[in-house]
Amino acid sequence: MLAANFPVGGAIEPSQLGVAADVALLQKHFSSITAENVMKPVTIGTGPGIYNFAPADQLIQFAQTNSIQVRGHTLLWHQTAPSWFFAGNPSDPGYRDLVRQRLETYITAVVTHFRGQVYAWDVVNEVASDTAGQTYRESSPWHAALGPDYIEYAFRAARAADPTVLLFINDYNTEHPDKRTRVLAIVQDLISKGVPIDGVGHQLHINVNTSAAGVDQALTAVESLGLINHVTELDVSLYSDPGSCYENGTGCQADYGANVPQSVLSQQATLYRQLFNVLRSHSSVRSVSTWGISDNHTWLSTFPVNRINRPLLFDSGRLPKWAFWAVVDASIVIP
């Protein structure tokens, strides 16, 4: 077990449950799982009133058989949001109510289906803006249809469907002060309106040059609002890329290929150690999940560009990396 302080999770796809090495790794080291994709509206929300729960139910079944908890991700995301939610004429007087109703119906059905089977939901994912001077992600189709109120509608519908599941706003870059300010402005607005929200999910898609101090500050800031923290999608990329790499794929750091320098893996191990020390020092941190379980399968091999990446605690052979030992044993000297 990675840490006694909180459940330690990993994101998986149902197909991995057919891979013996992945199952063994999950059983040995993970106490929580997140669906990498199959609990998103893109998978579940086949159409109005039509739900594809089967792939997610496979994960739930596996988790229950193995006494592993499940984190729900996510009820709403601007990316891959099914277009049927927004069908209709935005200038019709009834359009707003129609879209709102579709959202609430969807959330009610999904949260009800998984009631008692997930301990937390990322109710909304990545709703804060990345742009200075803008709080909400205005380019989201949800924002276009409903303005910022959709966030409140989503939380209230989730709470009505399950009175006890923990409800989260989830976002990336909360370790950076500018983005954090926007996320927390949204949280404060929700709290002031009496909207049910339990915590902030910090994705923590970070890289070997990230400072753990920013994470410490983010956790403290959330605590001061009276909420709890989950780390939801942790990975430590080998590469530090400029904004242009994310915007248009230019200026990305060159691919290390198969021969990743030991110095970079050591830097990664050092950051993982510092980070877990920070996480363990906050009693408000109640769950920590990595986005994947081993370097054999990571979204960073194609995002932001195709490139070898090794961002997790276990290598492609599912063996513990220096990063793993750095986290679990403070006495180990990283080479």
Binding site for ligand XIL (CB under 6 A): 36-37, 125, 203, 233, 299
Helices vs strands, H then E, count in the chain? 11, 11
Task: Report in angstroms how near the CB of residue 74 gets to ligand XIL at its nearest.
Answer: 6
Task: Closer to ligand XIL by CB, 181 or 303: give it.
Answer: 303
Give the CA distances from residue 306 to residues 12, 20, 264, in Å, rounded to whole numbers and listed in that order.
20, 27, 19
CA separation for the pair 94, 92 (Å, rounded): 5
Task: Report in angstroms how near the CB of residue 11 gets to ligand XIL at its nearest.
Answer: 7
Q: 249: which 2 tokens? A: 């794929």
Task: Report in angstroms how near the CB of residue 15 gets to ligand XIL at its nearest.
Answer: 12
Task: Report in angstroms how near the CB of residue 204 gets to ligand XIL at its nearest.
Answer: 11
Of 142, 144, 165, 138, residue with least CA distance to 154: 142
Task: Closer to ligand XIL by CB, 232 or 274: give it.
Answer: 232
Task: Report in angstroms how near the CB of residue 128 gets to ligand XIL at its nearest.
Answer: 13
Task: Closer to ligand XIL by CB, 269 or 288: give it.
Answer: 288
Q: 193: which 2 tokens? A: 């309106």
Task: Closer to ligand XIL by CB, 96 or 179: give it.
Answer: 179
Residue nearest ligand XIL, CB atom distance: 299
CA separation for the pair 254, 243 (Å, rounded): 15
Cα dihedral 155, 68, 14, 272 sign: positive
Element (H, E) at 200: strand 199-202
> CB 118: neighbour CB atoms within 10 A?
25
Task: Closer to ligand XIL by CB, 203 or 237: give it.
Answer: 203
For 283-301, the DSSP string reads: TTEEEEEESSSSTTS-GGG
Task: Report in angstroms how near the CB of residue 170 gets to ligand XIL at its nearest.
Answer: 6
Residue numbers annotated as active site:
126, 233
Task: Closer to ligand XIL by CB, 22 or 269: give it.
Answer: 22
CA separation for the pair 2, 15 (Å, rounded): 24
CA separation for the pair 281, 269 (Å, rounded): 18
Cα dihedral 82, 139, 234, 282 sign: negative
